[in-house]
Amino acid sequence: MVNNNWTFNQIAAKLEEVATNHQLIADFGKGDTWEIGASAEQTYPLMWVVPLPGSFVDKVVSLNWRLLFMDLVNKDENNEYEVLSDTFQLGMDTIAILSDPQFANDWRLARGVTFEPFTEKGDDQVAGWSFSITFELKFLRDRCQVPLSSPITKLWID
């Protein structure tokens, strides 16, 4: 990992780029899960990303994301396991792309990606998988890079 100053927006844009370029993902969205389908009809299969609380320890910032992969289930649910299988593969494909060595100087995906299935969600009756991933980024805490209008002085109380 190097200090490349990746921002939250750049990570979100990279996730969208992965979805846009994956031939089997038809749509992409981001935000809270209640927003899925709230402002516009979604096209499926859908990749939806939700930012989660993060942290930093020492000189590593951990940006946590939930990646949801979902598709429509028939009313009689006869394709539910097929949808679960297909959307699981979309999640695994995304993890493979983000783990590619080409990004080794940008971030590292933390070990231990977790995932869980969901069924019969939302008005569209979708099923799929939720993957929780963590981007680990270098953070040098370099005060010289902070855009200050004047220096912050030390306050001494005697």
Q: In this structure, what CATH number is given to the domain that contains residue 137?
A: 3.30.70
> Would you say residue 151 lies in a domain?
no
Question: Which amino acid would we find at residue 67?
Answer: L
Q: Is residue 36 part of a domain?
A: yes
* Euclidean distance between CA atoms 17 and 102, whole angstroms: 15
pLDDT at residue 8 is higher than 90: no
Q: Is residue 121 part of a domain?
A: yes
pLDDT digits (tens, 9 = 90+) for 12-38: 999 999 999 999 999 999 999 888 877
In degrees, to the nearest 5, what angle opens at C-alpha 34 toward C-alphas 119 and 135? 85
Q: Is residue 108 part of a domain?
A: yes
**Distant-in-sequence contacts of 95-104, Cβ < 8 A, 24+ apart:** 95/131, 95/133, 97/18, 98/14, 98/18, 98/133, 98/135, 104/1
Structural domain including 50 reads 8-145
pLDDT tens per residue across span 77-133: 999 999 999 999 999 999 999 999 888 888 888 888 999 999 987 777 899 999 999
Number of domains in the chain: 1
Classify residue 157: in a domain, yes or no.
Answer: no
Residue 120, pLDDT score: 84
Residue 41 lies in a domain: yes
Looking up tokens 């993060």 gives 54
End-to-end CA distance of the chain: 43
